[in-house]
A and B are shown apart, each in its own frame.
Chain A
Amino acid sequence: MVLGRPASCAVLLLTSTVALATQGRGQLAAAEWPGFRGAGAGTVADDPALPDRWSATENVVWRTPIAGYGWSSPVVWGDHVFVTAAISAGAEPTPIRGLYDPGDEHGKARLSAPHRWMVYDVDFATGRVRWSREIRNAPARVTRHIKNSFASETPVTDGERVYVYFGSLGVVAALEMDGRVAWATEVAALDGRQGFGTAASPVLHDGRLYVVHDNTTESFLAAFDARTGRELWRAGREEVENWSTPFVWAHGRRTEIVTAGRGKIRSYGLDGALLWELGGMTVNTVPTPVTAHGLLYITSGYPGANPRPVYAIRPGASGDITLAPGATSSEFIAWYQPLLGTYNTSPLVYGDYYYTLLDRGFLLCHDARTGEQVYGRRRISASASGFTASPWAYNGRIFLLSEDGETFVVEAGREYRLLHTNTLDEMTLATPAIVRGSLILRTQSALYRIARRAQG
């Protein structure tokens, strides 16, 4: 369990969530969706209320326009749905979909106009914007890829506060549930090697907020006291850029903070000490690790790079666990696939299977325990622009959201079968939240709550 603030109704809710964990395919029922990909890495227990089909008008409980531009995912606690955005005082470049060579023109846009860096609280029941809070009004301090945004880091909440990190501004902040700023602290905002901007989300565990910021000047993983905002420790990192959200891996032996990186995967103890590291990643590490079946899955996959690894790691490692040349497993690496990694999307482990959604519109399936291929590359759609949102699953179905706003619904299991497609007809990069029978889905301009038969 990633979250752990004591003695609150929220904890009770979460406890009851755990009690439901044996339902369905072993996933948690999503009473809350506290951070990027929720507590189940994109999976929740089966729930007949969850939607299977939708469109801009079908099964829409509400649609709320969100001012500004941001690819952070929504998070949900109780009747609060939080999203962030940056509202430019100038012209915002039009994002281009798909994978491409951006060059300097599209790859490191310097947008000098001031931006209003916003946090929104949307009412889960009605879609009404309960409050919006401007954190800063200032120009970004870094450049960005035109497909990135200045609000790509997903907030995280423990039900008492919502925590936001704007990496392009270098601000970490905590807001009370009523929108008051509890604290805000400045951290560095430095360009990465390619100037694509930032995206790694903050994570929360046991009263501490963890932020990673890799750049060409002074890369770090920092821990903050979630109550006060005081920086508790900072671990320097030999990295130059990174978009992967750290993962708090709580297993039987200990709790550790695992970070992917262009150079290495590194795991830190809760005191910031390096526990283990693993070389062999590609450039441009974006996917977030996930855990299932007692394994931690970590991947990166810049298109065409060799290798594009997936590692399934056993708990308890220490030191350098880099695979020997030619090896595909070791004491702490249960399996390794050299050419399976994805660029932007994070993997999905649903039931017995590890699903890979390639950015260019292919799905693959492997045995999650052994890494053996179940089926190879299956083209989802020849017309989709690309896939950045991470896949999710429930009710025996896998959902694949394209950058065009089309969600391809695929049957889970050993055979690939495309069932149908749901269309919202607007660009979408954010990964949805799944909570209490509803899908909270963010497009470029709006937030949707989608539920079967549009139940309130």
Chain B
Amino acid sequence: MTPRHGAAALVCLVLLAGAAAARAQQPAFTLLGSIPGRADLVEIHDGHAYVVDGKTLALFDLADPARPVRHGAYTFPEKIWGIHVAGPLVYVAADFFGLGVLDATDRAAPALRGALKTPGQAKSVALVGGTALVADHMSGVDVIDLGDGRSPVNRGAFFVEGYARDVVAAGSIVYAIDAPTGLYVFDLAAAERLDALEPISAQQSANSPASIEVATDVSPPLAVLVGGGALQVYDLSDPRAPRRAAGFKTPSGRPARATLRGAVAYVADAQEGLQVVDLSTPASPRVVGAYATPLPARDVAVDGSLVLVAIGTPEGEGRVLILRRER
């Protein structure tokens, strides 16, 4: 072996060791069970699954993930586009119905505590203290005083140019997206006149963003927009001025939704199943794990090591997979 050959062998060994280490860090998943039936959206909260199928929200006990137990359900008159779970209450964006506040204290019989018809189609709901923010196709982002949830009151709306699709909040900073391309930042604390709220920033994002997630417990804080066949990653170091860090085409090219846990994005990536994308270097997202699903992945929720993936076809076949992340 010449010195040159020796050096090359050393490099190979280092690379192989690195690859093995990387594989060791790659997340792996074990299928624990499933919830039968089509699911459009899924959330997990306090050991329970919240599963949306069309107009119906159903609750499941995941104490034994291998044997989920259905508690109860509530059916709205319109399609459910988004939910936000906060303790025993579930805030529901239900299309032309508007905002619904479900009391799930008795999970076997969730009951409508209150509701407010928003001006157009309610698409998503976020919460800031006692204020609900509802992405509404007609008005933009409605700012709603919840009180005890029985008689919500609309205080005004943030204007967006297109059709509002999703809204999330990080403290008083509100991020909203619209179709076809807008990303907006609003400051709820600075809002004095709620009859004509203007954004503190607005920019073009990916084409047709469908959802937005933010993570503020990482450095830098991140936002991820899903839509247009890709993830759009934003650096929120200045929370009032998102800076686009990367556009990342997922393996399917058709990501449906995502959820952020720290700097890791769990992506429901259509026919490519669940994809786990590392965003610790926001400018260079990389897939670090995956779970092949038998049907296209539509939504994903994560709580600790438990991962729920809603899978299904447009024809109605579907279920929710209950996975455990092993590493």
Contacts and interface: CB of A to CB of B under 8 A. Distances in A.
B211 interface: no
A98 B119 contact: yes
Given A99-B137, A101-B121, A379-B195, A303 B181 contact: no
A362 B137 CA distance: 15
Interface residues of A, number: 20
A267 B191 CA distance: 46
B157 A304 contact: no
Given A303-B163, A379-B196, A96 B182 contact: no
A99 B163 CA distance: 9
Contact of B180 (A100, A305, A378): A305
Interface in B181-206: 181-182, 195-196, 204
Interface in A317-362: 339, 360, 362
Given A100-B120, A100-B121, A382-B157, A360 B179 contact: no
A434 B140 CA distance: 34
Contacts of B154: 382
A306 B138 contact: no
Interface of B is mostly: loop
A100 B162 contact: no
Interface residues of B, number: 24
A377 interface: yes
Contacts, number: 55
Given A99-B137, A382-B195, A303 B162 contact: yes
A360 B136 CA distance: 12
A386 B137 CA distance: 11
Interface of A is mostly: loop
Contacts of A305: 162, 180
Given A304-B181, A305-B180, A306-B181, A377 B121 contact: no
Interface in B124-150: 137-140
A301 to B, nearest CB: 9
A303 B139 CA distance: 12
Given A303-B162, A306-B204, A382 B138 contact: no
B156 A303 contact: no
Contacts of A98: 119-120, 137-138
A382 B196 CA distance: 9
Interface of A: 96, 98-101, 303-306, 308, 339, 360, 362, 377-379, 382-383, 385-386
Given A98-B120, A99-B138, 8 more contacts: A98-B138, A100-B96, A101-B121, A304-B182, A306-B181, A377-B159, A383-B119, A386-B138
Interface of B: 96, 119-121, 137-140, 154, 156-157, 159-163, 178-182, 195-196, 204
18 contacts: A98-B137, A98-B138, A100-B96, A100-B120, A100-B121, A101-B121, A304-B160, A304-B163, A304-B180, A304-B182, A305-B162, A360-B138, A362-B159, A382-B139, A382-B156, A382-B195, A383-B119, A385-B119
